[in-house]
Chains A and B, each alone.
Chain A
Amino acid sequence: MTPEFSADAAVPPKSWWWALVALAAAALAGAPYFGDEAFQLDISIIFVFALLALSMGFLWGYAGILSFGQTIFFGLGGYSYAILALNLSATNLPFLGALVIPALFATLLGYFMIYGRISDIYLSVITLVVTLIFEKSIRSTSGPEYVIGAVRLNGQNGIPGVPALTLPWLSEPLSISGVFYLAGGAMLAAYVGLRLLLTTRFGRVLVGIRENEKRMELLGYDTRLYRLAAFVLAGAVAALSGVLYALWGNFVAPEMFNLNQAAQVVIWVIVGGRSTLIGPIVGAGVVQYLSNWLGTVNVGQVTLVLGFVLMVFVQLFSRGVLPSIGDAFERLRRKGKSYGRAP
């Protein structure tokens, strides 16, 4: 089975994979020269959502944890950056802080769930409930008394005017193409990093735990620690996606935490294929592109049409688009081999 199309990724990537990564990096570098700012904004948000989908795909596909509320960390990342950047009148430290705060929250939440030995289904429910609690709580902060430092939380109106990031080696804040590069670069780096992580002892043990947690414990692995580490890592990746979302729109709102957003992440991952890393990226891209396109062609009920399209996708590709393509390749390869064999 080709590791890129399956959840058994212990095998280090082949040279063709590195060539594709280099090609993707080159395409990313060149894209702003061929597309206007509107195009760059459209693609940047797909990168942001793909990163969020990747965080869930990694956690669900490789650690066997379905965190339905991955938006907890997405929203926390965005809000942390907005509040810190507006308070400190700086952007680099808030950028880091916005990764650390959600990661610490993931550690705390993950510790109680994983060390409390809560079953997987309850873990999904708890994460969903927590993200909805965040949404409701923030929605109820419209009054002037809800202030962190000098920043009003503004309830359901969200926080506008989130400062653009000024990287330490640049004098100007990031432009639209700067955000495009940052979002695309972050997504590509997270994908490559997670893919390589899966070939390390940590990644292989994680896959072992997904396959049979009890056996791994009986072999001497403290499976709780590995699961917690995966949960925190995925939380940090989702937080990065949240910060990039805030930078993309210069805006954060309670919708980042809501059910619609949480469910969308699950849909991206299911469409793309949860048992791969590239699947969730493709899933986010396809669904997001479809939503944008349906919005422009005047079909009326966009959600209804999108729902129908998703049903067709799930019927045709029950394991997701990428694993289905992988299966087809595998069948072809086996067929080719059997033809090549002497009778």
Chain B
Amino acid sequence: MTTQEPILWTKGLERRFGGVRAVAGVDFTLKQGELRCLIGPNGAGKSTFFKMITGQLRPTAGEIHIAGRDVREAEPHAIARLGVGIKNQVPDVMNGLSVHENLWLAASSKWRGRQAAAAAGRVAERLSLTPILDRLVGELAHGQRQWVEIGMVIVAEPRIVLLDEPAAGMSDEETALTAQLIREFNREMTIVVVEHDMQFIRRIARMVTVFHQGRILMEDTFDKVVADPTVRDVYLGRSMGA
């Protein structure tokens, strides 16, 4: 369902922490319906970039536009209401509440009454969480908590889904299933995935953006990116072998 209209774009986006420029002038464009992967070494600025898009951090310079709106000064909840959902690197859920309550709260941000409960039920079914709906999220295994959080992100049917390392800590089987789910979600949503696991990216990626030292080093198809000598030098040398 890719169209040419950009749903998200940034221009000269920058974030400083003291003297360090974690993100140093990023021009990024995401078309509606895309499934984009962001890769790069630790500290390349990927998570900071996500945090600025979702309003968790204010940029020190540059612009962010989502669905035609300038969101530089917007609060996180206002950006979420524009249809941006994020799964953070570390499972960021309500550990003291049940799986059902977590999904219901996420659904309830968009729907009321029975509609919210029905949406939560549908997502639980889709992610095979139905048998553990009454369990406390804090008691679940890491992989299951990752899925609860993914469920919370997609239940309100956002327009853009940002997934920060969705397969981290998952078994091979869980990782394969997550890749399959992401491809399915992409039929309805625009998705950006940060991941280090190149096998996982190979399964899902069409376009890949490489971050390095707070800037975009390269943006191309998966095959071209992995074949690029500079990318191999700064990042892939370690994860894919020379």
Contacts and interface: CB of A to CB of B under 8 A. Distances in A.
Interface of A: 7-8, 10, 201, 204-205, 207-208, 211-212, 214-223
Interface of B: 54, 56, 75-78, 80-81, 85-86, 92-98, 101, 104-106, 108-110, 112, 152, 156
Report the 4 A-B pairs with minimum CB-CB distance, sorted nearest first.
A220-B80, A211-B94, A220-B109, A217-B76
A218 B54 contact: yes
B110 A220 contact: yes
Contacts of B92: 212, 214-215, 218
- Which of A208, A211, A220 lies at the interface centre, i.e. has the most chain B CB atoms within 10 A of its CB? A220
Given A201-B112, A218-B54, A8 B105 contact: no
Contacts, number: 68
Contacts of B156: 219-220
A225 to B, nearest CB: 9
A216 B75 contact: no
Given A222-B75, A222-B77, A207 B109 contact: no
Contact of B81 (A8, A205, A214, A220): A220
26 contacts: A8-B96, A8-B101, A10-B101, A204-B101, A204-B108, A205-B108, A208-B94, A211-B95, A212-B92, A212-B93, A212-B94, A215-B94, A217-B76, A217-B77, A217-B80, A218-B76, A218-B77, A218-B86, A219-B80, A219-B85, A219-B106, A219-B152, A220-B109, A221-B77, A221-B109, A223-B77
- Which of B78, B80, B92 lies at the interface centre, i.e. has the most chain A CB atoms within 10 A of its CB? B80
A218 B80 contact: yes
Contacts of A8: 96-98, 101
Given A214-B92, A220-B80, A220-B156, 5 more contacts: A207-B97, A216-B105, A217-B80, A218-B54, A219-B156
Nearest to A275: B96
Contacts of B104: 204
Contacts of B76: 214, 217-218
Contacts of B96: 7-8, 211
Nearest to B87: A218
A214 B98 CA distance: 18
A205 B116 CA distance: 13
A323 to B, nearest CB: 13
Contacts of A216: 105
Contacts of A201: 108, 112
B51 to A, nearest CB: 10
B56 A208 contact: no
Contacts of B152: 215, 219
A116 to B, nearest CB: 14
Contacts of B80: 217-220
A290 to B, nearest CB: 32
A201 B104 CA distance: 10
Nearest to A216: B105
Contacts of B106: 219
A216 to B, nearest CB: 7
A221 B94 CA distance: 14
Nearest to B96: A211
A212 B137 CA distance: 12
Contacts of A204: 101, 104-105, 108
B82 to A, nearest CB: 9
A85 to B, nearest CB: 42
Nearest to A210: B96
Contacts of A219: 77, 80, 85, 105-106, 109, 152, 156
A207 B101 CA distance: 10
Contacts of B81: 220
Contacts of A212: 92-95
Contacts of B97: 8, 10, 207-208, 211
A220 B107 CA distance: 10
Contacts of A218: 54, 56, 76-77, 80, 85-86, 92
Contacts of A10: 97, 101
- Which of B56, B78, B96 lies at the interface centre, i.e. has the most chain A CB atoms within 10 A of its CB? B96
A205 B94 CA distance: 11
Contacts of A222: 75, 77-78
